[in-house]
Chain A
């Protein structure tokens, strides 16, 4: 999976969870950039990402992810 493919799939998940087809995420996207991305929606988002990529983040990873780039790196590392 290339980084571009990974982001295409991630983007699809973000659009679904936030029900907003205008979202385009980059490595630098954080919760501040998406209006509805609060700690409660973060739960749904993590669950949806885990299901899409068939990965499971550790509890530590879930609590410490700072931006979409870090999320993408974790996925890329797992998906190998």
Chain B
């Protein structure tokens, strides 16, 4: 389905309203029905259609009443039997600058004259709100005003008492004051949305003259989306939890590889500043009652070290649940939700990695998964989606964090979930596993010096040593490259074995953590065994040397089907595998253009 998440394509949504509605209605989800009266100062038809789509997506099935064209004031002040019979749950007054034009000051008017006009304009609206409140006792949403399309007085329009720009600002301020004093009255901030969109694109006079729409057709979805954020928040459809990845989401770099001193957070460069600003934003959300959790592929200690970085803003204790392990993130998020006794559909998952996002989106029903890219747009992407729209701010919201933290510590649920192999197949992965070519020498060298986590021997190489391994005839040396439907991961794995008679001793076996759980390690093994057999090798000998960071591969050779033959008191282990009768273990990645085995 076409994306309904910011940044969405307004034109695309607008043209596909019908099929979107059909698909949403057919998705089998349960929705609450809400009766919404739209009192319009313009045509409202397509606004309602777009609102319906966003509301259906958020679990609300709307029924609309629409006033006749431009009859917002008449319907409110003089009543309308149809509206009375409709018994709205919510009233939306859909007006725009077009409805303000008749009240605008004339050039050369005295201050008193302008005040009188303002009093008339504002007074009309306040009378409408009061009458509707008295009659229907339901929440009211009121658009404020976008800026005028032209400035008769140029910049002076903003300050001169007869300026239309100044008049708009004054009206909006008066609307805000009323909203601040009223419990169930909310401003739909069109002044902001039209500015975000760009006023020149927002205003399209031809659609006003032709159809009496107050903005460009492709802006209607943006307007509707902003309205719907208020409506869904009133009916308990806000998200509650922000589940965050760590590496390259909350800081720049990979803490497991770069070390806590190597990650970028703070103020020493542009990247560091950018991530600090994002952490600050997340912290501000938490102070408004948004609950934070971590979903990261990391060793726990590395994750905690990263969160304790002296220049960071967020601290480990601010997260209700921290899942930093090597489990798949869809599973982790389901577990986190269970521990917090929350539906996973109240989660937003923020991760820079498109593969992780796709996995979670596919397997976690109802979770919001915004496209977090690039880092300097993280704040905007979360902000514009309005997941946590703070329409009503209560004491409970502020205390919610503590409460859930306690709950989470009680529950530890183990969930079984999904068919992972199917997911892997859906990625359409293509691997390239070959001897080192010249172009990759420096990348391979760099990997051997950078990889810490998925690295069995943590042996470092110079470029000359890499070249030697590639060409001296005493080694079997292979690199692995992985491409999936989301893009090219580049060179992600390197293995080097030294031949001694009929044995092959694995001096190096490393892989980048970004391709964990993709079975790439099995694909590498298949190729190593095949190459070894070709060269008359009967036995492969694997070594694991523990470090502070490579605990995740302690049992790798065991998983591969090797037999442990030695272990010393430091935990160094030696393993062996006979090449005779070896069966291929990768069934999900096509290697070197071949078919799946």
Contact = CB atoms under 8 A, between A and B. Distances in A.
Q: Do A and B come from one complex?
A: yes
Given A16-B15, A43-B211, A59 B46 contact: no
Interface in A32-80: 40, 43-44, 47-48, 51, 59, 62-63
Say what secondary structure dominates the interface of chain A. helix
Interface string A8-23: 0000010011110000
A49 to B, nearest CB: 10
A34 B206 CA distance: 26
A62 B209 CA distance: 11
Contact of B17 (A13, A44, A59): A44
A51 B15 contact: yes
A19 B21 CA distance: 10
B209 A40 contact: no
Using C-beta atoms within 8 Å of the partner chain, give the interface range for chain A. 10 to 19
A62 B206 CA distance: 10
B217 A17 contact: no
A21 B207 CA distance: 28
Contacts of B213: 43
B85 interface: no
B22 interface: yes
Given A44-B46, A47-B11, A51-B15, A59 B217 contact: no
Interface of A: 13, 16-19, 40, 43-44, 47-48, 51, 59, 62-63
B181 interface: no
Contact of B19 (A13, A19, A40, A47): A19
12 contacts: A16-B15, A18-B18, A19-B16, A19-B19, A40-B46, A44-B46, A47-B217, A47-B218, A48-B14, A51-B15, A59-B209, A59-B210
A16 B46 contact: no
A48 B45 contact: no
A42 to B, nearest CB: 9
A51 B16 CA distance: 13
B206 A44 contact: no
Interface string B216-247: 01100000000000000000000000000000
B11 A51 contact: yes
A59 B206 contact: yes
Contact of B15 (A40, A47, A59, A62): A47
Nearest to B23: A19
Given A51-B11, A59-B209, A40 B18 contact: no
B217 A44 contact: yes
A51 B46 CA distance: 18
A13 B19 CA distance: 13
A16 B210 contact: no
